[in-house]
Amino acid sequence: MYEKLKGIVLNTIRYSDKHNIVHVYTDGRGLMSFAVPQGKTHAARMRNALLMPLSLIEMEATVRHGRDLAMMRELRRSYALSTIYSDPIKNAIALFISELLTHVIQEPEGNDALFRYIEQSVQLLEQMPGQIVANFHICFLYHLGAHLGIQPNVESYRHGYWFDMNDGVFAPATVPGHQHLPPQEAQVIHLLSRMTFANMGVFRFNREERNRMLDLIISYYRLHNAAIGTLRSPDILKQLFV
């Protein structure tokens, strides 16, 4: 049975001498894995260009009960991306986002709010001038937490409070056995709650501050999702921004 779906490409891995496996987050069925033929023909090159990380696509997919791998046909772009792949900074951000999403998205069912958030974020990254994207990945990660059920409870914030990484709340004292951020860094987490894609350009951080925030947010994600292992792309991001 064929089903029309929209999708966001997460990654492609080599499966055999003849096929790759492409992981796609879809609007109607969540995470899906597709067997895609390899090849050097013009058609194969065109197909590969449509399956770059974070590509926004439309397709018809075979959905067969009991099978892990689906097949796709009538593949096409739903939104054209050019600067994400031509701008090295945007490309590094895109690779980081796709790598992180590969780890955190495991659900084989649709989540319309999460799909729309990622889709719209990719479109915004494509449209943004390159000189203002330095905070994009920080902003994306913070607000992604709301869709994953791990966004910090900012209503609990008070000046001088610690941030309890385990419970996602601000508290006046530490809890034995929990990981905490001291008040100075807890204040930064609260500050990030005010950042949006529209105003992120007014938040000024140097490289050390931005890299520290990235490390903290990844640590927070890893604490709440054991599937997040070693990520390679953050090291690239850390070298890009001053």
Higher pLDDT, 230 or 84: 84
Kindly state the helix (H) or strand (E) to which residue 116 belongs, with its residue range: helix 112-127
In this structure, is residue 120 part of a structural domain?
A: yes
Residues 117 and 209 in one domain: yes
Let me know whether 202 and 242 are in one domain: yes
- pLDDT of residue 39 exceeding 80: no
Question: Roughly what angle, to the nearest 10 degrees, separates helices 136-148 and 183-192?
Answer: 90
Alpha helix ranges (H) inside 51-111: 83-86, 88-104
pLDDT above 90: percentage of residues in the chain? 69
Question: What's the predicted TM-score (pTM) here?
Answer: 0.92
How far is residue 71 from each of residues 53, 75, 104, measured CA to CA in Å? 18, 11, 23
Specify whether 68 is located in the same domain as 29. yes
Which of residues 59, 80, 101 is at a domain's end? 80
On whether residue 27 sits in a domain, the answer given is yes
Verify that 68 and 114 share a domain, yes or no: no
The domain that holds 75 is classified in CATH as 2.40.50.140
Where does a domain end: 41, 57, 80? 80
What is the model's pLDDT at position 238?
A: 83
Average pLDDT, the chain: 91
Per the structure, the count of domains in the chain is 2
Range of the domain at 8: 1-80
Last residue of a domain, one of 31, 48, 80: 80
Q: What is the rounded average pLDDT of the residues 192-200?
A: 95
Whether residues 62 and 87 fall in one domain: no
Confidence of residue 229 (pLDDT cuts 50, 70, 90): confident
